[in-house]
């Protein structure tokens, strides 16, 4: 089911009521909802939605890895998804750090899809608590290129080794407390899905809860929120493609969110809607390719 038309406000005691009330957010929510509604009616989603979702997961992983500096051709990621050797017949050369990160992003995408409901399923899926969810995503994303004892474990007294420029990140008890607070917000809000995903995504980027791989985790969790909360029931939205095409703008908006100011938070949520709209168009192109049989085998 699609998310219902977004209200212009939520209950005054909703933890995200202040975000929903920021200038331009209501219009941004409407734009995101309209784009996802239009995508839902593409003919590919009648019988071939699993193919579209699978290919979207591949492209999502490739773009997410690129945002973390690992630029791998989509054909290579598709080979990895099929369990093949990414160094054969793709021009990738020797497998290396970029392929490791892309493989991690792909595993995170698979974890996301494992929790997504089937298209047309009734009711919202029951997701694990946020702390467990981000830990699972990180264990999937970091396996093979991060130390085993760092997988899924919150930082204690060390600084994150990625996403520089977003300001200081908490650690230890402060970090655990912020993750717990975000979990309570996620459980208690009835704000539109686009706003919830934007806040979860932005906060995970700001917190950088793990030693590295935080960007892939934030984007994977937010992608799941968009589907689980009904904005994108197709599970094929591709905002990551838009972000990968303009990484400086993406990180600049994330830095604004991390300040916690109304201006910074509002700008991030509005920019998020722009990425959702672009992501719906990118998903539509994937659906076109599925129907036309144009995808690379």
Q: Which tokens belong to 173?
A: 């008890």
| pLDDT tens-place string over residues 54-67 | 999 999 999 999 99
User: Which residue shows structure tokens 């700001």?
Assistant: 206
| Chain centre distance of CA 20 | 20
Domain that holds residue 111: 17-292
Asked whether the predicted pLDDT for residue 174 surpasses 80, the reply is yes
SS3 at position 95: coil
Looking at residue 6, the DSSP 8-state letter turns out to be P
| Chain centre distance of CA 111 | 12
Confirm whether 243 is domain-assigned.
yes
Confirm whether 2 is domain-assigned.
no
Confirm whether 11 is domain-assigned.
no
Higher pLDDT, 289 or 295: 289
* Whole-number Å distance between alpha carbons of 245 and 174: 34
Which ranges of the chain would DSSP assign to H, the alpha helix?
17-20, 25-40, 44-47, 49-67, 74-81, 97-115, 130-142, 172-188, 193-207, 214-228, 239-245, 247-258, 262-292
Confirm whether 127 is domain-assigned.
yes
Q: What is the value of pTM for the model shown?
A: 0.92
pLDDT band for 97, please (50, 70, 90 cuts): confident
Asked whether the predicted pLDDT for residue 90 surpasses 50, the reply is no
How many structural domains compose the chain?
1
CATH code, domain with 123: 1.10.3290.10
Confirm whether 4 is domain-assigned.
no
* Whole-number Å distance between alpha carbons of 11 and 264: 23
Confirm whether 8 is domain-assigned.
no
Asked whether the predicted pLDDT for residue 8 surpasses 70, the reply is no
| pLDDT tens-place string over residues 101-125 | 999 999 999 999 999 999 988 877 8
Confirm whether 10 is domain-assigned.
no
The CA-atom distances, in angstroms, between 60 and each of 182, 244, 270 are 24, 10, 21
Q: What is the pLDDT of residue 92?
A: 44
Q: What is the pLDDT of residue 296?
A: 53
pLDDT band for 86, please (50, 70, 90 cuts): low
Confirm whether 6 is domain-assigned.
no
């Amino acid at each position: 089911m699609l998310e219902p038309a977004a209200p212009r406000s939520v209950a005054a005691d909703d933890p995200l009521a202040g975000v929903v009330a920021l200038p331009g957010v209501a219009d941004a929510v409407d734009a995101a909802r309209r784009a996802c509604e239009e995508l839902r009616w593409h003919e590919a989603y009648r019988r071939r939605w699993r193919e579209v979702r699978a290919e979207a997961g591949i492209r999502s992983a490739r773009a997410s890895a690129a945002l973390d500096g690992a630029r791998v051709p989509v054909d290579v990621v598709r080979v990895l998804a099929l369990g093949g050797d990414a160094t054969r017949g793709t021009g990738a050369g020797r497998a290396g750090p970029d392929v490791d990160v892309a493989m991690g992003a792909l595993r995170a995408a698979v974890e996301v899809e494992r929790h997504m409901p089937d298209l047309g399923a009734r009711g919202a899926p029951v997701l694990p608590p946020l702390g467990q969810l981000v830990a699972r995503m990180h264990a999937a994303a970091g396996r093979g290129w991060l130390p085993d004892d760092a997988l899924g474990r919150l930082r204690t007294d060390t600084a994150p080794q990625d996403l520089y420029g977003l300001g200081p990140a908490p650690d230890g008890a402060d970090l655990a407390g912020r993750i717990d607070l975000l979990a309570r917000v996620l459980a208690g809000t009835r704000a539109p899905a686009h706003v919830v995903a934007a806040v979860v995504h932005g906060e995970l980027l700001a917190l950088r809860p793990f030693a590295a791989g935080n960007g892939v985790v934030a984007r994977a969790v937010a992608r799941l929120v968009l589907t689980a909360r009904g904005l994108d029931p197709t599970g094929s939205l591709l905002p990551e493609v838009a972000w990968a095409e303009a990484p400086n703008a993406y990180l600049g908006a994330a830095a604004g969110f991390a300040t916690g100011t109304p201006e910074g938070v509002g700008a991030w949520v509005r920019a998020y809607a722009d990425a959702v709209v672009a992501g719906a168009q990118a998903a539509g192109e994937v659906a076109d390719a599925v129907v036309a049989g144009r995808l690379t085998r």
